[in-house]
Structure 1
Amino acid sequence: MHAYLGAMLLKKKHALGPGLCAALLCAALTGPVHAAGRMQETLCPGFDQPADSAGEKYQLFFSPYTHHWSYDEEHRQVYALSLSRLLPNDRFCGFSLFNNSFGQPSAYAYIGKTWPGLLPSHPQIYVSATAGIIYGYVGKYKNKVPLNVGGFAPAIIPAIGYRLSPSATVEVQLLGTAAFMLGATWRF
């Protein structure tokens, strides 16, 4: 099913807009829907379980600032908004909408893991990483990300964050050799 969906998206990239492609990709990552309407576990086992005892199930990330390592007159400011489903054992999966470095509407569907409290002297500091598929680098910018096929490319994004409160953090995401993104999260 997932291979079929991926092939359809690649063949129909011009017929489907990037928003619809990204929504279908996110659905493929979270699992097929049964006839009864229940979500089946696939890449996100435990999807229907709360993440922690506080009852927080989601995390919203917003980034108003991205710094590119090198100047390019074609670079545009990147804004990103992500929604993640928190899962047991510090795992999560989610979906991000953003405008890429060249002003193109883009999306990222991902799974991830957080490692809290790596420094005992600073338990507020954590690291995390996501892996998934980006859509949006098309046209003359298709070679700006590696392994891009029809606008779809794999991605791994590591991050380091600081927990301000049980619900709020500030976070820096490393965007490969291109840039870093500064943002904040809110759990609810």
Structure 2
Amino acid sequence: MKTSLRARAAGLLLAIPGLTQAPALRAEEAASPLIPTADGWELVISPYAYHFSHSPEHKHVYLIGLERQRADNWLWGGAYFSNSFGQDSGVGYVGYMWNNVFDIPALYFKLVAGIMYGYKEPYEDKVPFNHNGWSPVILPSVGWRFTPKDSVQVVLLGGNGMLFSYNRRF
């Protein structure tokens, strides 16, 4: 029995693996085990900040914070820290995280904005828009995930320095 050209072409197309199934994600779009896919908490610990210009007034900086990360990449959090002049300080913020930057699953970028308290006299002029110790902050950061739970991050502190942190997701 002779089959038509159209029937043979249809048979060939149906024989191609995956053609009749939903298209698969490209490799870089496939979920990586490093990228969080559910809501979670992250503990942030920073033992060190680097200042772009040295001042004899600078003190050791440390930070401990807690961040809630949502599956849709929105986040909110807060941190307690000792600022560059040894004053107890705090920050509360909201932000967004971009995962898989440059198609590298371990690399992420984060941008947060919020309100900071702690730069008081005589250092109130060390941060912009400070009013009685309160000032707005916008903090970009880049991070690298070693495991689904462990990462390191570098936070840009305006034109003043960088904060280095270890983050643990739970």
Shorter-normalised TM-score: what interval? 0.7 to 0.9
Matches within 5 A, 1:77-92: 77-92=60-75
Point out the structure with max Rg over C-alpha. 2
Q: CA deviation at 1:161?
A: 0.5
The C-alpha deviation readout for 1:78-98, integer Å capped at 9, x for no partner, is 100110112231111011000
| Helix, strand or coil at the partner of 2:168 | strand
Q: CA deviation at 1:70?
A: 0.2
Matches within 5 A, 1:101-180: 101-120=84-103, 122-180=104-162
| Helix, strand or coil at the partner of 1:166 | coil
Higher strand share: 2
| Helix, strand or coil at the partner of 1:119 | helix
The ranges of structure 1 where at least 4 consecutive aligned residues each deviate by more than 6 angstroms after the TM superposition are none
**RMSD (Å), alpha carbons:** 1.2
| Helix, strand or coil at the partner of 2:69 | strand
Aligned-partner residue type, residue 92 of structure 2: A
> Aligned residue for 1:62?
45
Q: CA deviation at 1:52?
A: 3.7
TM-score by length of 2: 0.77
The C-alpha deviation readout for 1:148-170, integer Å capped at 9, x for no partner, is 01110000010001010111101
- The share of aligned pairs that are identical, in percent, is 37
Q: CA deviation at 1:66?
A: 0.6
> Aligned residue for 2:16?
none
> Aligned residue for 1:97?
80
Structure 1, unaligned stretches of length 5 or more? 1-50
TM-score by length of 1: 0.69
Number of aligned positions between the proteins: 135
Aligned-partner residue type, residue 154 of structure 1: P
Q: CA deviation at 1:175?
A: 0.3
> Aligned residue for 1:35?
none
Aligned-partner residue type, residue 127 of structure 2: V
Structure 2, unaligned stretches of length 5 or more? 1-35
